[in-house]
C-alpha cells in the first residue's frame, strides 16, 4: 500500500477534510462496536461443571421444590405436571422441566419504539443497559446522597437515549417523591417512555396496577394491536424470594403481563452467603433451579411466551453480610450464569457493573470495568445494572452513567476480540514500511483506514501527555462528566409527541416536567 510521508506537502484543506471524514458517524455495519456483538470467549465453567450444576438444579426442584405460589400459579403448574405436596411446596419432575424447556421461547427480540434499537437475544449476543431500584441520587457537587425523584428517572432516560453503548433502559431508581404506589408505577412508565425510544424494563408494585398501566402503554403504542405487534417494554419480575419460594404478588403481576403480551424477565436475586448458598457453584445451582421453575411457570400459563432467564445471584461480604456487587466473586457468578443460559440455549440476563463505592472514584472504575468485561466476554445477552449504580445498588449517579458509556465502549471492544483474516495478517504493509518507506506506520493508508473501524476512543477519558494536560489547564474527569451530563440534558427533549404528552398528563398525575 502507498504511504503518506509525515511532513510532505498536502493540498490545502486535505487534512481538515480527512479529519471531518473521520469524525463523521460510521454506518452501523462497520462500527467497531455495537449492540448485540457476539461474546462467549470466557468460560469459567467446564462442560462437566455445567452438567453438574444442571443435575443439581433438577434434583433441587424434585426434592425441595418451591413454596408460596399463588392459587392461579398452582393451578397452571399442577395441570402441566408439577406436584403439590402436603407441605404446600410445588415439586417439579425432571420430565416436566425438560418438556417446558423444549417449548420455551428462544431467539427472541426485545423491541424498541425505534426499531434501530431492537435487541436480538440469540446465541451469545451481548447488550448492556441499566436496571435497579436505587433510592438515592449521588450529588457530585456536594458529595452527598438525596432521595431520587420522577424527574431524576426521566433525566436518566434522556441521557441513555444519547449514549451509544447503553443499549436499553430498565428503571434504575425509585420515584420517591411519588407516595401513591399506583401513581409511582405510572410515573415510572411515563418517565422511561418520555426519555428514550430504546427498549424499556419496568416493574409493578401490585398486580392490580398492571391494567391501568396498560391503558398508558396502549396509548403510547398507538393501540393494543400495535403494542402486541411490537411490545417495547418488558416486565422485570422478582417472581421468587430466595431461597426457593415464590413471591405471590409478583407472580400474579407476571401472569397479567404474560396475558397482556409483555415479555418477562424471570429474576432470581439470591445473595450468596445470605439467601443463597455461600459456594459460588451452589449459588448458581439455586438460581438456575429457581429460574427453571420460572420456565415451567411461564410456559404453563402461555407456551412459548418470550421470557428471559434471569439468574441474578449476588455476593455477600462474609465478614459483615453486606452486599458486594463489585467483587471478583460477583463477576464470576455472573459469567457462570451466562454459561448456563447458553447451556439451555435460552435468552438470559444477569447483573454486572455495580459498584460498592459511594462515588465515581477508582474503586468504582475497577468494579464497573471488571464485572462488565467478564459479563460481556461470557456472552451474557442482557447485562443489567451495567452503569450508574453505586453503594451496592442503593445509589445512582448521572455522571457515572456518562462515564459508564466510555467503560462499556472499552468492554465492547474486548468482546469483539481480534479479527484474524488473510488481510489482517498480511505482511505487505510491513514490507512497504520497513523496506521502502519511512520505518513507521503513522501515515499509512492502512492505519488511517482502521482508525475508526478497529479502534474505540473514549469520549471523556484523557489520553494526553502530562505536558499537554497541564497546557489544557489540568482537565479533571468528573468535571468533564458533569459537563457532558449537562450538555445532554440541555438539548434532550421528550420522546412522546406533544399532543399525546398533554393527553397523558391530563389523564394521569405526572410528577416531572
Determine the average pLDDT of the residues in 79-85. Answer: 98
Band of residue 447 on the pLDDT scale cut at 50, 70, 90 = confident
Band of residue 114 on the pLDDT scale cut at 50, 70, 90 = very high
Report the SS3 class of residue 271. strand
Residue 449: exposed, middle, or buried by beta-carbon count in 10 A (0-12, 13-18, 19+)?
A: exposed
pLDDT score, position 373: 98
CATH number of 101-417+503-507: 3.20.20.480
Among 25-34, 135-144, 146-155, 417-426, the least confident range = 25-34
Asked if residue 154 has pLDDT above 50, the reply is yes
Asked if residue 148 has pLDDT above 90, the reply is yes
Asked if residue 17 has pLDDT above 70, the reply is no
pLDDT score, position 24: 63
Band of residue 7 on the pLDDT scale cut at 50, 70, 90 = very low
The pLDDT mean for the chain works out to 94
Query: How far is CA 18 from each of CA 13, 187, 448, rounded to the nearest angstrom?
Result: 9, 47, 9
Asked if residue 21 has pLDDT above 80, the reply is no
Asked if residue 471 has pLDDT above 80, the reply is yes
pLDDT score, position 4: 37
Asked if residue 37 has pLDDT above 90, the reply is no
Per cent of the chain over pLDDT 90 is 88
Asked if residue 11 has pLDDT above 60, the reply is no
pLDDT score, position 247: 98
DSSP helix, strand, coil percent of the chain (3-state; round to 5):
45, 15, 40
Span 235-281, pLDDT tens digits: 999 999 999 999 999 999 999 999 999 999 999 999 999 999 999 99
| Residue 126 C-alpha from the chain's centroid | 9
Among 33-47, 78-92, 334-348, the least confident range = 33-47
Band of residue 348 on the pLDDT scale cut at 50, 70, 90 = very high
Q: Whole-model pTM?
A: 0.94
Tell me the HSE value of 133 on the side-chain side, using a 13 A CA sphere. 10
Which one is predicted more confidently, 29 or 491? 491
pLDDT score, position 449: 86
- For 3, phi then psi, to 5°, come to -115, 145
Asked if residue 18 has pLDDT above 80, the reply is no
pLDDT score, position 12: 44
**Long-range Cβ pairs for the range 447-455 (8 Å, 24+):** 448/4, 448/18, 448/22, 451/22, 452/22, 452/26, 452/32, 453/26, 453/30, 453/31, 453/32, 454/32, 454/419, 455/32
Determine the average pLDDT of the residues in 325-334. Answer: 96
Band of residue 452 on the pLDDT scale cut at 50, 70, 90 = confident
Asked if residue 126 has pLDDT above 50, the reply is yes
Task: Quickly count: other Cβ atoms within 10 Å of residue 11's Cβ.
Answer: 7
C-alpha cell recorded at residue 27? 454506518
Span 186-224, pLDDT tens digits: 999 999 999 999 999 999 989 999 999 999 999 999 999
Span 61-74, pLDDT tens digits: 999 999 999 999 99
Amino acid at each position: 500500500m502507498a504511504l503518506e510521508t509525515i511532513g510532505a506537502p498536502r493540498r490545502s484543506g486535505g487534512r481538515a477534510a480527512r479529519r471531518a471524514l473521520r469524525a463523521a458517524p460510521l454506518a452501523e455495519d462497520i462500527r467497531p462496536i455495537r449492540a448485540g456483538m457476539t461474546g462467549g470467549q470466557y468460560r469459567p465453567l467446564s462442560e462437566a461443571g455445567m452438567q453438574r450444576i444442571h443435575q443439581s438444579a433438577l434434583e433441587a426442584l424434585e426434592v425441595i421444590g418451591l413454596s408460596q405460589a399463588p392459587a392461579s400459579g398452582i393451578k397452571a403448574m399442577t395441570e402441566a405436571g408439577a406436584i403439590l405436596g402436603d407441605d404446600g411446596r410445588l415439586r417439579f419432575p425432571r420430565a416436566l422441566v425438560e418438556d417446558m424447556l423444549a417449548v420455551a421461547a428462544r431467539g427472541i427480540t426485545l423491541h424498541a419504539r425505534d426499531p434501530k434499537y431492537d435487541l436480538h437475544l440469540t446465541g451469545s449476543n451481548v447488550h448492556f443497559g441499566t436496571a435497579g431500584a436505587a433510592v438515592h441520587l449521588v450529588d457530585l457537587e456536594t458529595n452527598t446522597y438525596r432521595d431520587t425523584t420522577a424527574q431524576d428517572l426521566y433525566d436518566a432516560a434522556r441521557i441513555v437515549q444519547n449514549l451509544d453503548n447503553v443499549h436499553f433502559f430498565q428503571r434504575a431508581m425509585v420515584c420517591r417523591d411519588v407516595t401513591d404506589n399506583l401513581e409511582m408505577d405510572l410515573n415510572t412508565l411515563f418517565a422511561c417512555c418520555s426519555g428514550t425510544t430504546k427498549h424499556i424494563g419496568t416493574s409493578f408494585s401490585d398486580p392490580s396496577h398492571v391494567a391501568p398501566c396498560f391503558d398508558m402503554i396502549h396509548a403510547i403504542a398507538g393501540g393494543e394491536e400495535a403494542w402486541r405487534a411490537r411490545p417495547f417494554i418488558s416486565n422485570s419480575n422478582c417472581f421468587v424470594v430466595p431461597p426457593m419460594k415464590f413471591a405471590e404478588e409478583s407472580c400474579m403481576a407476571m401472569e397479567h403481563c404474560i396475558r397482556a403480551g409483555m415479555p418477562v424477565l424471570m429474576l432470581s436475586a439470591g445473595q450468596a452467603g445470605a439467601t443463597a448458598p455461600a459456594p459460588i457453584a451452589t449459588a448458581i445451582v439455586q438460581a438456575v433451579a429457581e429460574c427453571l421453575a420460572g420456565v415451567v411457570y411461564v410456559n404453563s400459563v402461555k407456551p412459548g411466551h418470550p421470557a428471559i432467564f434471569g439468574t441474578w445471584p449476588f455476593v455477600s461480604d462474609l465478614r459483615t453480610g453486606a452486599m458486594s456487587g463489585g467483587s471478583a466473586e460477583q463477576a464470576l457468578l455472573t459469567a457462570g450464569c451466562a454459561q448456563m443460559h447458553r447451556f439451555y440455549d435460552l435468552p438470559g440476563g444477569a447483573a454486572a457493573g455495580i459498584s460498592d463505592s459511594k462515588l465515581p472514584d477508582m474503586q468504582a472504575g475497577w468494579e464497573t470495568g471488571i464485572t462488565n468485561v467478564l459479563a460481556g466476554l461470557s456472552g451474557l445477552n442482557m447485562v443489567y445494572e451495567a452503569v450508574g449504580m453505586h453503594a451496592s445498588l442503593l445509589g445512582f449517579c448521572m455522571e457515572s452513567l456518562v462515564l459508564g458509556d466510555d467503560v462499556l465502549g472499552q468492554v465492547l471492544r474486548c468482546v469483539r476480540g481480534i479479527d484474524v483474516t488473510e488481510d489482517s495478517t498480511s505482511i505487505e504493509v510491513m514490507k512497504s514500511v520497513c523496506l521502502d518507506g519511512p520505518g513507521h506506520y503513522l501515515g499509512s493508508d492502512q492505519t488511517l483506514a482502521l482508525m475508526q473501524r478497529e479502534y474505540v476512543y473514549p469520549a471523556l477519558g484523557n489520553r494526553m501527555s502530562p505536558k499537554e494536560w497541564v497546557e489544557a489547564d489540568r482537565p479533571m474527569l468528573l468535571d468533564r462528566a458533569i459537563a457532558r451530563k449537562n450538555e445532554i440534558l440541555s438539548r434532550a427533549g421528550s420522546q412522546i409527541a406533544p399532543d399525546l404528552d398533554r393527553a397523558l398528563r391530563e389523564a394521569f398525575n405526572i410528577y416531572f416536567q
